[in-house]
Structure 1
Amino acid sequence: MAPRTNPSERQRRLGAELRKLRLRARMSSDTAATLLEGERSRISYIESGRLSVSRNRLHLLLREYGCPPGPYFDELMSMGQASGKGWWDEFDDTIGPAARDLAELESRSTVLRTHEPMFIPGVLQTEDYARAVLSETERDPQLVDRYVQFRLERQRILATDSPVTYRAVIHEAALHVRVGGPEVMRAQLLRLMEASRLPNVTVQVFPFKSGVYSAYSQSFAIFGGVAPELDTVYLEHPRNSLFLRDGDQLDEYAKMFEWLCELALPPVDPDSVPEAHTSRDSLSLIQHIMYAL
């Protein structure tokens, strides 16, 4: 099998983890290649995500690298056997590799934490809001339609039989930006409150009054699963989105998110009665902005 030229994020991550484990075991590429009865270049291709490894050989490598049984071991095995195919394949004619990687990562995660300073998070957007946002950068109506469909399909992670645990901190600025006009924004803010009724969704608003904080200027998402070692930070950029895997970077963003939660208003609770709001919370702020539109 010829090495692939454009490995997916899952394939690159598996390769990076195998390299990390091999180096931790102080095993050379030549020795690892001997285990697979192959050339040294084979290990290099596997570790760069350019070459797949069979289930039996992956199990052998993990065992010889000293990876103990447990969630991390099992998840690496699962990553190795995953086909990478999913509903996102229907959009191959439209979306790029980073968007496909994002959709696959969302589908494999059990916990998603996200911070948005200027826009409502994609998985909470209404169709009209998404269309208004995407129309700012794409003038072809047919492409906009496809992008909107893709974004709406991503929202299925919130309402499957095993939905992702979703936590969002949204800066107050995002609630004031009149994307698509007042009616679109009213419907979008209502959608925020409706989504918060889901038991797996938590929405907090970071108010202007909390002052300046370094995370204001950057949106990010932290994807987590059964093995914390495989958590991923996603940073969206117009040209090259980034997937961060380094442990120190993961810790930094995890701490940043928890600090944002501490500074943000209490979560939205759409089922609480008005008299229960004795102090300012995320719901009362969203309602205030919605009524003022």
Structure 2
Amino acid sequence: MPQPSPLPTARRRRLGTELRRLRERTDLSATQAAALVGATQSRISNIEAGRYGVSADRVRTLARHYDCTDGELVDALAAMTGERRRGWWEEYRDILSPRMLDLTEVEYHATALRVAHVINIPGLLQTPDHARALFAQTVPPLKPHEVEHRVSHRVKRQEVLHREQPPPYTATIHEAALRMRFGDRATTCGQLTHLVEMSELDHLTLLVVPFDAGPFHTSGQGFDYFHGPVPQLDTVQIDTDHGGELIDSPAQLERYRLVLDRMSAAALDPATSRGFIARLIKDL
């Protein structure tokens, strides 16, 4: 009998979470669900916790017993069982926190990305010098080699925007983040110039919310919204002082979609946003 995985991937845990949600909607216990498919209660519990893998056929069988008639959702869940090899981020397993690796995995598999940041430049758009200056401010302080590990990881994450079929990426950034200084003048100039250059990519939309746009709803926390193959599999990552938190409850996803829409509505259009950043560079 296979042993439960002590380090389930974020993708496997999410699959288990969705299977549990489907089961609970039918008011079936894990024991009852196990009996329907000829398994043990512990097997079902371990699948739902992401500690056991599950086949696509088993996913479809469980979905039928759970009266799930959403074919697109079932297909998406079945597709999540096919990942057999670990991603590139596993090389950082003993170096970075599990939360950072979970973020990377979710980001890698996203079909589209929308991010909103008020006081920081989004990670996928940071230059190495900006990231290095940012990590130098971490509390408690990082050692030089720890800073470099984080910078290299961040740079490698950015490859998602440059692969053969990159996901659509929309970044809404407040003027406060653009004016925040990390590093010297050259670092700031390089970072803003990089934003202008990235904004010219066909699959990337950069929107700036200027100070004079007035108030809009936000807690000040930056967050990333990762679209899944179906809306039920979307994920939000919020920045906190103790690290990123992944959120996937339907009610919270709806809330963050609304926040994104309101921030986008307060932002300048892409061309005007690009010109806005160009003027900031001239004023440095």
TM-score, structure 2 normalization? 0.93
Q: What is the aligned counterpart of 1:212 among 201, 215, 218?
A: 215
Q: Which amino acid aligns with 2:73?
A: Y
- Measure, in 1, the Cα distance between the counterparts of 2:275 and 2:58: 56
Change (3 A) 1:236 1:216: closer
Question: In structure 2, what is the equivalent of residue 97 of structure 1?
Answer: 98
Q: What is the aligned counterpart of 1:264 among 258, 267, 280?
A: 267
Point out where structure 1 has 5 or more consecutive residues left out of the alignment. 270-280
Q: Determine whether 1:283 maps to 2:274.
A: yes
Structure 2 counterparts to residues 113-152 of structure 1, below 5 A: 113-137=114-138, 138-152=141-155
User: Once the 2 structures are TM-superposed, how far is the Cα of residue 6 of structure 1 from its aligned partner?
Assistant: 4.2
Point out where structure 2 has 5 or more consecutive residues left out of the alignment. none
- Measure, in 2, the Cα distance between the counterparts of 1:174 and 1:28: 48
- Measure, in 2, the Cα distance between the counterparts of 1:167 and 1:10: 23
- Measure, in 1, the Cα distance between the counterparts of 2:157 and 2:207: 21
- Measure, in 1, the Cα distance between the counterparts of 2:282 and 2:65: 62
- Measure, in 2, the Cα distance between the counterparts of 1:66 and 1:160: 38
SS at match of 2:218: helix
Q: Determine whether 1:249 maps to 2:240.
A: no
Q: Is the 8 A contact 1:131 1:148 kept in 2?
A: yes
Question: In structure 1, what is the equivalent of residue 169 of structure 2?
Answer: 166
Q: Which amino acid aligns with 1:195?
A: M
TM-score, structure 1 normalization? 0.90
Q: Is the 8 A contact 1:131 1:144 kept in 2?
A: yes
Q: Is the 8 A contact 1:30 1:39 kept in 2?
A: yes
User: Once the 2 structures are TM-superposed, how far is the Cα of residue 40 of structure 1 from its aligned partner?
Assistant: 1.6
- Measure, in 2, the Cα distance between the counterparts of 1:5 and 1:91: 17
SS at match of 1:51: coil
Question: In structure 1, what is the equivalent of residue 205 of structure 2?
Answer: 202
Question: In structure 1, what is the equivalent of residue 80 of structure 2?
Answer: 79
Q: Determine whether 1:233 maps to 2:236.
A: yes
- Measure, in 1, the Cα distance between the counterparts of 2:195 and 2:106: 23
Question: In structure 2, what is the equivalent of residue 278 of structure 1?
Answer: none
Question: In structure 2, what is the equivalent of residue 277 of structure 1?
Answer: none
- Measure, in 2, the Cα distance between the counterparts of 1:206 and 1:49: 39
User: Once the 2 structures are TM-superposed, how far is the Cα of residue 63 of structure 1 from its aligned partner?
Assistant: 2.6
Q: Determine whether 1:183 maps to 2:213.
A: no
Change (3 A) 1:219 1:106: same
Q: Is the 8 A contact 2:173 2:209 kept in 1?
A: yes
Q: Is the 8 A contact 1:84 1:104 kept in 2?
A: no
